[in-house]
């Protein structure tokens, strides 16, 4: 088993998505203590924002004519694609920021796409847990139903483009208790948090059960 974990929160120790990803990982490492885990934290160590353009330009340039920046960017893109392809289980913690996918996650996806061999499904059948956290609530019938433009996009890339066997763990209303305007939802938020934590533990147990260490 080779586990890849990628975090993307910009909120450091207060990250709700990382806390849920911890629960997933805890169940895996409880069952397989020696499992190697490759980690990336896109929020704390962002990928260079110019790497995508350089990698794309490099990929369209004969190898001997590539400049240094293009070579570095392409090497990074290929490393990201290899990391994903070599993983036998993947845990992603991607928060909702400004109704969409964070720029850090987008940079990772764009670079990884450039680094992959054409037509290769990088996660073909790989069990993948996507943790999504949102400050507000976006369920059916809520005023902002449909405003989460991150989860659908992530599913499009992970499942339809890369072939992942995807489980989504979601927690809404993480800003209840932080933003007083949401105080009336305190009880709902407690229930949502508990459900999300149970779902994270169950996703971790299922990852662990699918793998011999
Ligand atoms: C810059 C920023 C933008 C945010 N935008 C949204 C948003 O559009 N919708 C929402 O429901 N919550 C939004 N939030 C709240 C986050 O989704 C919430 O804090 C969530 O827990 C983030 O995951 P994290 O705790 O792992 O960082 C935003 C938070 C920050 C810091």
Q: What is the pLDDT of residues 67-86, one digit of tens each?
A: 999 999 999 999 999 999 99
CATH fold group of domain 3-209: Rossmann fold (3.40.50)
pLDDT over threshold 60, residue 205: yes
Pocket residue to mutate for ligand 1, from 94, 95, 172, 196, most atoms within 8 A of Cβ = 95
Q: Give mean pLDDT, residues 47-64.
A: 97
Give SS3 for 59: helix
Within 6 A (CB) of ligand 1 lie 9, 11, 15-18, 95-99, 133-136, 174-175
DSSP label at 50? T
Give me 177's structure tokens: 């208790």
Global pTM? 0.97
Pocket residue to mutate for ligand 1, from 6, 92, 134, most atoms within 8 A of Cβ = 134
What is the distance between the alpha carbons of residues 152 and 2, in angstroms, rounded to a whole number?
A: 26
Residues 6-22: b if buried by 16+ CB within 10 A, e if exposed: bbbbeeeeebbbbbbbb
Q: Give mean pLDDT, residues 135-160.
A: 97
- Of 145, 142, 73, the C-alpha closest to 111 is 73
Count the neighbouring beta carbons within 10 Å of the beta carbon of residue 205. 15
- Of 101, 57, 95, the C-alpha closest to 77 is 57
Q: Which pLDDT tens digit goes with each residue over 7-40?
A: 999 999 999 999 999 999 999 999 999 999 999 9
Q: Are 103 and 150 in contact (CB under 8 A)?
A: no
């Amino acid at each position: 088993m080779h586990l890849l974990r990628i975090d993307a929160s910009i909120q450091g120790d207060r990250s709700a998505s990382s806390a849920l990803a911890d629960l997933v990982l805890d169940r895996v490492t409880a069952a397989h203590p020696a499992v190697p885990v490759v980690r990336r934290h896109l929020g704390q160590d962002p990928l260079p924002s110019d790497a995508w353009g350089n990698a794309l330009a490099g990929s369209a340039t004969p190898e001997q004519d590539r400049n240094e920046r293009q070579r570095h960017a392409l090497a990074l893109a290929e490393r990201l694609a290899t990391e994903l392809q070599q993983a036998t289980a993947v845990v992603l913690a991607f928060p909702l920021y400004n109704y969409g996918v964070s720029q850090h996650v987008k940079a990772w996806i764009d670079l990884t796409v450039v680094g992959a061999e054409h037509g290769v499904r990088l996660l073909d059948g790989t069990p993948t847990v996507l943790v999504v956290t949102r400050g507000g609530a976006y369920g059916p019938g809520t005023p902002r139903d449909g405003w989460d433009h991150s989860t659908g996009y992530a599913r499009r890339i992970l499942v339809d483009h890369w072939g992942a066997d995807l489980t989504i763990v979601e927690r809404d209303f993480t800003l209840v208790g932080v933003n007083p305007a949401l105080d009336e939802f305190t009880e709902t938020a407690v229930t949502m948090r508990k459900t999300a934590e149970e779902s994270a533990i169950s996703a971790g147990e299922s990852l662990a059960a699918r793998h011999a260490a």
